Structure 1
Amino acid sequence: MQPNPVYTRDAALQIVQEYIQSHNLINHMLSVEAAMRFYARYFHEDEDLWGITGLLHDFDWEKYPTLDQHGVAGAPILRERGVPEVIVQAILSHVDSSGVARETTLQKALFACDEITGLITAVALVRPSRSLMDLTSKSVKKKWKDKAFAAGANRDEIEHATQELGIDLWQHVDNVILAMREIASQLGLAGETTPSVE
């Protein structure tokens, strides 16, 4: 099957709904999509291409939940579904064990947006507002050194990924929070507050 150069978000969402049952994992993928769309605008790149890459990046995690399989096992499925190779390569590159080096800004952005969204979600959930709307990097910074908090969010990987992308860590955190605010209601993290200015 020939890859479709004009690949739609609806087609990607169909794959996500077919392969993912976990509501939390879908929210994670939507969060990464939002962050990738933010960075596509930031870098003047194709927002749909970047967004779809974020949306699909973990589609195979429930079927292949180990780091040696994740990404690599899913790539042939994506190719069969007509997902453009540029997206497949970016998804492969976000898993170090795939052996695909991160060379493009798209690939580096996906790696940088992946882990951080989980940490931001965890911080939002323990706030009284349970909201992204009044969350800033200052709150994330307070939880950063507490390794027991959101232990699954690899701080070293987040720092490394942000350096690869060439953006200050805390600016990156604020950028991703802004991106996730755009879909806060969908994520159940809108609360009843309005964004604060710090």
Structure 2
Amino acid sequence: MRECPDREKALALLRKYNSEPFHIQHALTVEGVMRWFAGALGYGEDADFWAEVGLLHDVDFEKWPEEHCKKAPELLAEIGCPDALIHAVCSHGYGICCDVEPVEEMEKVLFAADELTGLIGAAARMRPSKSCKDMELSSLKKKFKDKKFAAGCSRDVIRTGAERLGWELDELLEKTLEAMRSCEDAVAEGMAAL
């Protein structure tokens, strides 16, 4: 079982450097998605570690967007994050804003799913239900193919992420959608509590 600071410390650190509700919601979403993937891929004993990497992956983005994934190690050291967690957080910016390569399966999942959660979230907000729980894979695939929709979500990064995992794109889309369904209520509760 991998060590990580307790969630209260991690959440406090996130909130110290992030005040935009959008950024907090994204962090909570990626936390839940990573926890789901840990269980689904057979890493259940490390689910807290995977989740905390997800929670803290953008800790430096709001205040230091131009130093994203470069400022993070300094901030994560404030709560004693282990090197493995720091490496994982930084690796999601590989080839985009840093040269820390995602090596472990968990890091590859973060790289692949981070961008995709933004696309799924944007698609959910367009639905009458405002939810991804009733979203079909076919609907998500249409949004993915529409380059004008959620244009800030890089399809290239998502495709590269699927390739790094050795998955077909549809498998990544389907699993990430399922992961977001699993944590949607918890994210809403987390946001309401802030």
TM-score w.r.t. length of structure 2: 0.88
In the TM superposition, 1:11-160 aligns within 5 A as 11-45=9-43, 46-66=46-66, 69-96=67-94, 97-160=97-160
**2:34 and 2:54 in contact (8 A); partners too:** yes
**2:33 and 2:180 in contact (8 A); partners too:** yes
Which amino acid in structure 2 is aligned with residue 171 of structure 1? E
Aligned-pair distance for 1:39? Answer: 1.4
Matched, 1:171 2:161: no
**2:115 and 2:153 in contact (8 A); partners too:** yes
Deviation sequence 1:66-97 (CA, Å, 0-9, x none): 2xx10111211212320111110011111123
Deviation sequence 1:17-76 (CA, Å, 0-9, x none): 11111111111111111111111112222100000000000011111112xx10111211
Aligned-pair distance for 1:186? Answer: 4.5
Output the CA distance in 1 between the equivalents of 2:58 and 2:13. 11
Radius of gyration: which is bigger?
1
Change (3 A) 1:62 1:6: closer
Structure 1: runs of 5+ lacking an equivalent: 189-198
- Corresponding residue SS for 2:121: helix
Output the CA distance in 1 between the equivalents of 2:4 and 2:104. 20
The size of the alignment, in residue pairs, is: 184
Which amino acid in structure 1 is aligned with residue 32 of structure 2? A
**Identical amino acids, percent of aligned pairs:** 38
- Corresponding residue SS for 1:98: coil
Output the CA distance in 2 between the equivalents of 1:175 and 1:145. 18
Aligned-pair distance for 1:168? Answer: 2.1
Which amino acid in structure 1 is aligned with residue 15 of structure 2? Q
Change (3 A) 1:6 1:158: closer
- Corresponding residue SS for 1:182: helix
Correspondence for 2:192: none
**2:5 and 2:79 in contact (8 A); partners too:** no
**1:79 and 1:85 in contact (8 A); partners too:** no
Output the CA distance in 1 between the equivalents of 2:58 and 2:149. 23
Output the CA distance in 2 between the equivalents of 1:117 and 1:71. 19
Correspondence for 2:191: none
- Bigger drift between 149-158 and 16-25 goes to 16-25
